[in-house]
Amino acid sequence: MSEPYYRDEFVTLYHGEALSVLASLPDASADVLLTDPPYSSGGMFRSDRAADPADKYRGWSQNPDGSSRKPTASYGTFGGDSRDQRSFMGWVAAWSWQALRVVVPGGHAFVFSDWRQVPAATDALQLGGWVWRGLNVWDKGVGRPMRGRFRNHLEFVAWGTSGAPVASDAYPSALIPVPTVSSSDREHVTQKPTDLLAALLAVFPPGELRVLDPFMGSGSSLVAARSLGHRCVGVEVDERYCEIAAKRLAQGVLNFAPSP
């Protein structure tokens, strides 16, 4: 394995392709897989999925009167988001199987998806050897307005475990209402709120975790994990986002106080 792109006491960040980096990580070296991979979604047809992710996933904002509007900001794009349904399932099954080896028995997996890819994502997670436990739902609050149809203001998280799950006394809700990342704070077009990512870890017993994200983007999962006192490993194929993540993590070191 190549040297880490960034490392501190709690975080290790690798610049590289997810499957190859996962293959080099030790067995049972993580407690949880928490990741937001490219969805290969964004439309009803193959031509829609082939569109630039910067256009497909720009999201919607809310006006003062409650109406929705498309934002004008641009956050750059990313690759690997134009697979057809069959190759998407095979791809997710491949890297999730490798992640299963890295995560301890009883560990959890949280894999983000939109509504179009939920059936493929949950099937692929099971093909990778995980036990599917259910869906968690992110309520973003705002979504694309569609005349005569329900507004798309939800995204989903396929939840699975490596065999029987680690027991916990927590009773977290599967519905997590957290606002989207504001345009002033956003550095990736599909950036997830750190509060949302932290909420998914509430199913674990108290104590330090080792969090794995092979598609870390701008590093929000690592920021969320470290803010809770957890150790984490992130992987990102685009060096531009590695740089962004490293800067976010380095800026937070001085203000970081591990959980007791």
CATH H-level superfamily of 6-253: Vaccinia Virus protein VP39 (3.40.50.150)
Domain boundaries, the chain: 6-253
- Per-residue burial over 170-190, b if 16 or more Cβ lie within 10 Å, else e, is eeeeeebebebbeeeebbbbb
pLDDT in tens, 60-87: 555 555 555 555 556 665 555 667 888 8
pLDDT higher than threshold 60 for residue 144:
yes
Q: Mind listing the pLDDT tens digit for each residue in 9-58? A: 999 999 999 999 999 999 999 999 999 998 776 555 555 555 555 454 55
How confident is the model over 238-249, as a mean pLDDT? 94
Mean pLDDT across the chain, nearest whole number? Answer: 85
Taking alpha carbons only, the member of 247, 238, 239 closest to residue 78 is 238
Query: By the 8 A CB rule, do 230 and 10 touch?
Result: yes
pLDDT at 256 over 60: no
**Calpha distance 16→239 (Å, rounded):** 8
| Alpha carbons 236 and 255: distance in angstroms, whole number | 24
pLDDT band at 88 (very low <50, low <70, confident <90, very high): confident
Q: CB of 30 within 8 A of CB of 12? A: no
* pLDDT tens profile 149-198: 888 889 999 999 999 998 788 899 999 999 988 878 888 676 899 999 99
As a whole number of angstroms, the distance between CA 153 and CA 142 comes to 5
Name the pLDDT band for 143 (thresholds 50, 70, 90): confident
- For residues 100 and 28, give the distance between their C-alpha atoms in angstroms, rounded to a whole number: 8
CB 51 within 8 A of CB 207: no
